[in-house]
Chains A and B, each alone.
Chain A
């Protein structure tokens, strides 16, 4: 159905030409799902845009062909391609929050392509849209069709987008990270929906994702992209359970698994090569533990046992495990029975969301919605302990973390940090607490001042609390950088000169600068790629062991939480529904919500329910 052959795409950038895709060849047979897997910068979204003929102006197709159902898309006129888009090719984007037009109703957007491709009248298209919304499992399709995007939840919007893509009955659906922005339970629903639709309509799907657990559930075949090249492709079972390319292997090893707690997560060192001047040899060689002399030669795709691998050492790689970094961390919580470092009792926080005023007779009345993101929360965190906090978006995790630190003032309840009663004190008397309790934010891009060097960023809190003299400052900054495994010359760098993982290390170093005893880690690895995430998680584990600092580790990724936490707290609608030892929560969850949450997590090691018959999975 879709056949991409030898496709090369370059982007003109201010720093020179960047080769986003180098001789990509993939094909999806009718009625099957091909997954395209890769981390950020691998070029996977460029494939989607190239297939749709929607590449931005600065992109240029250097060579290769994209064929759809036998037609060469490159040979078509602009008008012919437009007619093909939307009618036979459908595209679903990553972020359901920005893909729908905020000022048009859902119904008119879902039915829109019918007007232009199938000659429906607007009225008929709207009626059909209601039917489609019903098909994708929206409960009251009529009301939703008349609603505007901001009135719907993320999951509902993604369903509506899928309905819109399906409207003209396309043969091929391209899905670019369709579930990445969604909670796990919603993600599970969307995946189920896609599977049903595929069976019912005989759809062919190109599924682009970085999430191997999701890919394992939906795909028949997998192609792994690295730095603009396909490095391995074959049947899903083969690639995910017996990877032959070192990168695929590293990627799989880096995923934290629920239920198999390791001391260390495997990680892939280094970063993507600069695609403005890609290395002449193997593009992964620099980061590859299996690199050998042959790696300096350009690697070609070769067929090994029914799949393609771009590595001369593939046979060797398949039988050798990915090296796990030495376990410096003991990963055993210092279970001291002394008083907890953080203690929260009956904490409450209510937000009032104003909705303007309405006239009631002659009296003005304020429309208010009350939102209770922190509802009667009681918990303790002991010295050197990691308490994982999981829950879906909107459950109140972040608000709880910030309320404990008094970044948000609670309505009632008691907070103790160390031996200090923090709740009820005015902000200016919280000096001591600000030193003992710190925070690491999710997005290092917005939490690090872009105009300050790393050295200045780290020196600021040290000077603020008078923890080092001006002469000692450079030494202290160096110590901090050393703690987060960054070379000391990084002190002179600005945030934009670093990769995402490095920036997050600086974020952690800044939190450590005041020598805190407790750190709230608010989704510290959610913005990072899997291979980088593993290294940060390892770092956090090491620091806990070395410094005895306690974490409230907030994440929506239950795998990461499972790996790092001693105890886990599950939050729903502002309430703690379950809290206990990590093993107990993960293996014997009691609360129905915890059970639901855990069962929704897509696991990469589970046996696929769809096609493919490989040998039993590893472990």
Chain B
């Protein structure tokens, strides 16, 4: 098991190195460099030239990359060119807020999605099954910004229960914090339910027809034991992998949702830094997204192994 984790961690490092090269490479191809951005569009060319030399922008690209990467490794993420603030604390704050949002959404997607999948599988071919299918498909078929607007209209404008946008820290009061979280969460959850519920449904239907489920029934076990202990355990395996991918898709989803709800998280930071050509911030933010994505996949693989004894690594049985 440790060998397995070690190997996976090694691959994650490789992936991150590759992503960092890509990110750095692409930003280096942009016509405007950091010196130009710092000094603004009206700076005289010789000043720009001087700053370029000072910042090392005239060095070969691989030297620039190594310098950037090594300072990254020592924890120095550089400074935002736009806000003249260190990127580190800014990014930590944004990531923390985004993780609150994606974490809550993810838990709800997993619980509701799997639940709907089970219910649909048990009522396979009946009206409830069709209802679940139509509802979740609707969620995935229409883009997130549409649902975001509907949610704002219904809960903020019409019912007036929730604020339309913004963020408040938990220290301002738990309820206020939660109120700002609910609307974007609903939007994210609705857009991602179909994937999990459809997959759970189809593997559940398959597993319910398997001989070992009939065998469990033949043992006279109560139906909830048959469904939850015998069927679900096996039906969840493909869902776990899908959930990890969904976590990655959520990281993409927050870009849209945070922008609409003016939620100051990682997604909004990315959009903001793109709009304002804040290259150091953008590079750091994208690396963080890649790292979260890789970590989610590692967790999925570990959970998969936990639930599937056939790949319990390095186990010896007589």
Q: Which residue of A lies closest to B124 (CB)?
A: A57
- Over the window 151-191 of chain A, the binary record of Cβ atoms lying under 8 Å from chain B Cβ atoms (1 yes, 0 no) is 10000000001001100000000000000000000000000
State which of B214, B219, B310 has its C-beta within 8 Å of the C-beta of A150.
Answer: B310
Would you call A358 and B3 a contact (CB within 8 A)? yes
Closest A residue to B308 using CB positions: A103
Q: From residue 97 to 118 of chain A, which have CB atoms closer than 8 A to chain B?
A: 98-104, 112-113, 116-117
> Interface size (A, Cβ < 8 Å)?
41
Residues of B within 8 A of A113 (CB): 219-221
B230 interface hit (Cβ, 8 Å): yes
How far apart are the CA atoms of A283 and B267 in the complex, in Å?
73
> What distance in Å separates the Cβ of A512 from its nearest Cβ neighbour in chain B?
37
**Chain A nearest CB, measured from B176 CB (Å):** 44
Which A-chain residue is minimally distant from B220 (CB atoms)?
A86
Within 8 A of B (CB), among A73-91: 82-87, 89-91
Asked if residues B309 and A101 are in contact (CB atoms below 8 Å), the reply is no
| B222 CB, nearest partner CB in chain A, Å | 6
- Report if B218 contacts A (CB, 8 A): yes
Bound Cα distance from A161 to B161, whole angstroms: 57
Interface residues of A in 329-379 (CB under 8 A from B): 356-359, 364, 367
Q: Are A99 and B211 in contact (CB under 8 A)?
A: yes
Chain B residues with Cβ under 8 A from A165's Cβ? 219
Least Cβ distance of B63 to chain A in Å? 32
Question: Which B172-231 residues have a C-beta within 8 angstroms of A?
Answer: 210-212, 214-222, 225, 229-230
Residue of A nearest to B125 (CB): A57
Asked if B218 and A91 sit within 8 Å, CB to CB, the answer is yes
A557 at the interface (CB under 8 A from B): no
- Which residues of chain B are near A151, meaning CB under 8 Å? 317
Decide yes or no whether B2 CB sits under 8 A from chain A.
yes
A147 to B309, CA, bound (A): 9
Docked pose: A46 CA to B91 CA in angstroms: 65
With beta carbons under 8 angstroms apart, the residue of A52, A101, A147 that contacts B216 is: A101
Q: Is the interface of B mostly helix, strand, loop or mixed?
A: helix
Is B60 in contact with chain A by the CB < 8 A criterion? no
Give the interface centre of A83, A84, A95, A151 by most chain B CB atoms within 10 Å.
A151
Cα–Cα, bound, A122→B222 (Å): 15
Does the CB pair A102–B220 fall under 8 Å?
no
| Contact residues in A for B7 (Cβ distance below 8 Å) | 357
B45 within 8 Å of A by Cβ? Answer: no
Within 8 Å CB of B214, what residues of A? 54, 93
Contact residue among A95, A101, A148 (Cβ-Cβ distance under 8 Å from B230): A101
Among residues of A, the one whose C-beta sits closest to the C-beta of B236 is A103
Q: Are A99 and B219 in contact (CB under 8 A)?
A: no
B72 at the interface (CB under 8 A from A): no
CB-CB < 8 A to A93: which residues of B? 211, 214-215, 218
A356 touches B314 (CB 8 A): yes
Give the contacts of A52-82 with B (CB-CB under 8 A).
Answer: 52, 54, 82
Closest to B318 in A: A143
Give Cα A147 to B234, complex, Å: 17
Task: Tell me which residues across on chain B come within 8 A of A359, comparing CB atoms.
Answer: 2-3, 6
CB–CB A98/B211 < 8 A: yes
Report A111-132 residues with CB < 8 Å from chain B CB: 112-113, 116-117
Interface of A is mostly: mixed
- Say whether A140 faces chain B, with CB atoms less than 8 Å apart: yes
Q: Which residue of B lies closest to A359 (CB)?
A: B3
**CB closest chain-A residue, reference B207:** A101
Residues of A within 8 A of B215 (CB): 91, 93, 99-101, 161
Q: How far is the CB of A181 from chain B (nearest CB, A)?
A: 11
Contact residues in B for A147 (Cβ distance below 8 Å): 317-318
**Considering the chains assembled together, what is the distance between the CA atoms of A586 and B7 in angstroms?**
55
Q: Which of B4, B220, B234, B317 contacts A117 (CB 8 A)?
A: B220
Chain A residues within 8 Å of B216, by CB: 101, 112
Q: Determine the chain A residues whose CB is within 8 A of the CB of B6 once the complex forms.
A: 359
The residues of A that contact B36 with a CB separation of less than 8 Å are: none
Q: CB-CB < 8 A to A99: which residues of B?
A: 211-212, 215
Given contacts A52-B218, A82-B220, A359-B3, contact A98 B210 (CB under 8 A): yes
B212 touches A164 (CB 8 A): no
Name A103's contact: one of B3, B218, B309 (CB within 8 Å).
B309
Look across to chain B and name the residue whose beta carbon is closest to the beta carbon of A52: B218
With contacts A54-B214, A93-B215, A150-B310 known, is A112 near B221, CB below 8 A? yes
Q: Specify the chain B residue showing the minimal Cβ separation from A87.
A: B220
Instruction: Report Cα–Cα, A356/B314, bound state, in Å.
Output: 8
Whether A143 lies near B317 (C-beta < 8 A) is yes
Q: Is the CB of B310 within 8 A of A102?
A: yes
Binary contact track A34-58/B, C-beta < 8 Å → 1, others 0: 0000000000000000001010000
Q: Which residue of A lies closest to B225 (CB)?
A: A116
Taking CB atoms, residues of chain A closer than 8 Å to B3 are 356-359, 364
Q: Does B85 contact A (CB under 8 A)?
A: no
Q: Tell me if B313 and A356 are in contact (CB < 8 A).
A: yes
Bound-state CA distance A13–B220 (Å) is 28
Asked if A112 contacts B234 (CB within 8 A), the reply is no
- A93 CA to B217 CA, complexed, in Å: 12
Q: Is A116 a contact partner of B221 (Cβ separation < 8 A)? A: yes
Structural contact, A104 and B218, CB atoms closer than 8 A: no
Q: Are B318 and A101 in contact (CB under 8 A)?
A: no
Partner of A100, one of B212, B218, B225, B314: B212
Task: Answer yes or no: B307 CB below 8 A from chain A CBs.
Answer: yes
Residues of A within 8 A of B4 (CB): 356
Taken together as a complex, chains A and B put the C-alpha atoms of A91 and B221 apart, in Å, by 13
* Structural contact, A54 and B310, CB atoms closer than 8 A: no
Instruction: Please tell me if the beta carbons of A101 and B222 are within 8 angstroms of each other in the complex.
Output: no
A116 near B234 (CB under 8 angstroms)?
Answer: no
A397 to B22: give the CA distance in the assembly, Å: 53
Known A-B contacts A101-B234, A103-B234, A359-B2; A86 and B218 likewise in contact (beta carbons under 8 Å): yes
In chain A, what residue has the closest Cβ to B223?
A: A82
Point out the residues of chain A lying under 8 angstroms from B307, CB to CB: 103
In the complex, A90→B310 CA distance in Å?
A: 28
B217 touches A116 (CB 8 A): no
In the assembled complex, the CB of A34 is this many whole angstroms from the nearest CB of chain B, namely: 19
- Chain B contacts of A148 at CB under 8 A? 309-310, 317
Residues of A within 8 A of B234 (CB): 101-103
- Since A101-B233, A140-B318, A357-B3 are in contact, a sample of 19 more A-B pairs with Cβ atoms closer than 8 Å, ordered by chain A residue number, is A89-B220, A93-B214, A95-B211, A98-B211, A99-B211, A101-B234, A102-B308, A103-B234, A112-B219, A113-B219, A113-B221, A116-B220, A150-B309, A151-B317, A356-B3, A356-B4, A356-B313, A359-B3, A364-B3
23 A–B contacts, CB within 8 A, in A order? A82-B221, A83-B220, A86-B219, A90-B218, A98-B210, A101-B230, A102-B309, A103-B307, A104-B230, A104-B233, A112-B216, A116-B225, A117-B220, A143-B317, A144-B318, A147-B317, A148-B310, A151-B317, A164-B219, A356-B313, A357-B3, A357-B7, A367-B314
**Can you list the 5 inter-chain pairs with the closest CB atoms, starting with the nearest?**
A86-B220, A85-B220, A86-B219, A91-B218, A148-B309
